[in-house]
Copies of this chain bind each other. A is one copy, B any other.
Amino acid sequence: MYVLLVYDIKEKRVGKMLKLCRRYLNWIQNSVFEGEITEVKLKELLAKAADFLDTEEDSVLIFKSRSQQWLEKQVLGQERNRLDTFL
């Protein structure tokens, strides 16, 4: 499935989250990732994130779509780097 992940977390944990997300998804904007991922891999990512995130302070939103074709993307201004996953 296609996933869009957006986080808003305290600065001290951002580096760890960025590194984790990059192992599973493609970075498209500050704190925004997208990519094809399986349900199992997504669970793994979220379990790892839950290990160090503070759920009282941090927020991670995940939007899942069965296929990327249901989502049309439009960009105003800069599209940030698109990195391939490292897996």
Residues of A within 8 A of B (CB): 4, 6, 8-9, 28-32, 46, 49-50, 53-66, 70-80
Contacts and interface: CB of A to CB of B under 8 A. Distances in A.
The 3 residue pairs across chains A and B that have the minimum distance between CB atoms: A60-B76, A8-B30, A70-B70
B63 A77 contact: no
Contacts of A46: 74, 76
B61 A32 contact: yes
Copy tally for this chain in the complex stands at 2
In the complex, which of the residues A46, A49, A76 has the most CB atoms of chain B within 10 Å of its own CB atom?
Answer: A76
Given A6-B6, A6-B29, A8-B31, A64 B56 contact: no
Given A57-B78, A59-B79, 9 more contacts: A29-B59, A55-B76, A58-B77, A59-B80, A61-B74, A63-B71, A64-B71, A65-B65, A71-B71
